[in-house]
Amino acid sequence: MKNPRRKTLAAASAVALGVVGLAVTGGPASAAAVGPDSTYLVLAPEGGKTDTAAARVAAANGTVVAKYNQIGVLVVRSTNPDFANQVKGTGVDSVAATAGLGTALDEGEMVEVSAADVANAAATTTGDPTKEPLYGQQWDMSMIGVPQAQAVNAGSPNVTVGILDSGISSTHPDLATQIAKDKSASCIGGVVDTHEAAWNPTTSSHGTHVAGTIAAAVNGVGVAGIAPGVKVASVKVVNDDGFIYPEAAVCGFVWAAEHGMQITNNSYYIDPWEFNCRNDARQRPVWQAVQRAIRYSQNKGVLNIASAGNSNVDLAHKTVDAGSPDNGTPETRAINSACLDLPAEAPGVVAVSAVGPTGQKSYYSSYGQGVVDVAAPGGDARFRTQGARSTSADQILSTVINTTTKANGYGYMQGTSMAGPHAVGVAALALSAHPGMTAGQLSSFLERTADPQSCPAGVYNPVPLISSGPHAYDATCSGGARNGFYGAGIVDALNAVK
């Protein structure tokens, strides 16, 4: 997700266990050895119990704040400066402090529709998405055949989509009836909190925008969602500083799996390094924990859909990461195929690239042959002027909340963060029209019903006049009917419900 990044793209109980005679490397912590209160991921052997690991945590002066026995992961707090070394041993596969591993949500800029313009839009109650007051500004819906699809199937309330993001405004007039409140929760800190205030947005409108694209009600107010008949659940993983920490993502995937969500939307990446490298000792435990959580959710029947990123990077040919970490001073490091953009590149996750109003790759969208599975509208505010100026109407219009004034409204945003929910909405319609599909079948169906889009010839760059330089967004597409820019093609809502 392209720099600069805005810090606004991308039930457990506390236990303390002890085992008599348990040997701990380095011995118990000294009472005088007190450091900052830090969070750790402690991984027990996968498939085994976490009791021994929890005991080692206690012996190393740590406290388990969340216990995910399903995947053998503990979220731990400790002020012991030597905790990571002392907890190692039998029953602990790996441990990593998550301090500094928070990823800034790549929200980009938002352009709000004025209250006067919203008020002047004619209200209707026809049940026709094209008659919603602001539908005329939703070019994305027509592009993927939403009106025709909703005439066949507008979505089933038996389908619940988990939105792992910054929270959903439960008071928004286009969303209030759409939220599965009994399945919504905050996962901040890796600890579940089901209070409504906890899973509402506090500093970011990103999740509310995503939710509207998927399921805004066709109610004569504002905009139309792709699948207004389905339910969305707010699974808040973005903290008040705009960061997504690995423990929150792990919690989110497990929560979705345990609460009957068939699809999740993931418009973010994990770790401050855009690419999480399995051969990096510090990053490996994070990679393992997230992989376990994703795999667990898949085994529970969840299809996870993720944004490909806004860095215009060829994910199939990574060589250098020059823009990470995003929570410190960026440094240049060599990377290779062992370094993944998570969750988009995790096995079984559907990766989505972004297109603009012309159906061509958005200038910012990352891509990659064999990585991108499908494409979807994400907006492109620069193509009309070749990058010289921005046109907000070519972005994606959806529901928003002003987190300062707490006023609900509508606004434009762009990014693969906006493309992901279009693919999710189409998948939700497909599952509504064809119930009983497994996650794997749904993934395959989403690809088979997409409209193939050919590679542009030569070097592609729709924004040569952008201020960052004439070649800043050069990209080359590879492949045939299935290619690096668009995967199997642009998602098609009508095809999905036939």
Sign of CA dihedral 432, 435, 436, 438: negative
* 468 located within any domain: yes
* 152 located within any domain: yes
Question: Within 10 A of 435 (CB to CB), how many other CB atoms are there?
Answer: 11
Contact between 168 and 399 under an 8 Å Cβ cutoff? The reply is no
CATH number, domain containing residue 206: 3.40.50.200
* 374 located within any domain: yes
Q: Which residues are catalytic?
A: 165, 206, 417
CA–CA gap between residue 311 and residue 330 (Å, rounded)? 14
Give the residue from 418, 396, 413, 291 showing the smallest Cα distance to 352. 418
* 1 located within any domain: no
Per-residue pLDDT, 48: 81
| Helices then strands, each counted (H, E), the chain | 12, 22
CA–CA gap between residue 229 and residue 116 (Å, rounded)? 29
Angle between the N-to-C axes of helices 416-433 and 206-215, in degrees from 0 to 180, rounded to the nearest 10: 30
Per-residue pLDDT, 401: 97
* 238 located within any domain: yes
* 24 located within any domain: no
* 38 located within any domain: no
Per-residue pLDDT, 324: 59
pTM strictly above 0.85: yes
Number of domains in the chain: 1
* 45 located within any domain: no
Instruction: Print the domain residue range for 273.
Output: 111-497
Give the residue from 360, 365, 384 showing the smallest Cα distance to 455. 360
In the chain (498 residues long), the average pLDDT of successive 10-residue segments reads 36 26 36 82 92 98 97 98 96 91 82 88 80 96 98 98 98 98 98 98 97 97 97 97 93 98 91 61 82 96 96 86 61 69 89 98 97 98 97 98 96 98 98 97 98 97 97 97 98 98
- Which tokens go with 135? 């539908």
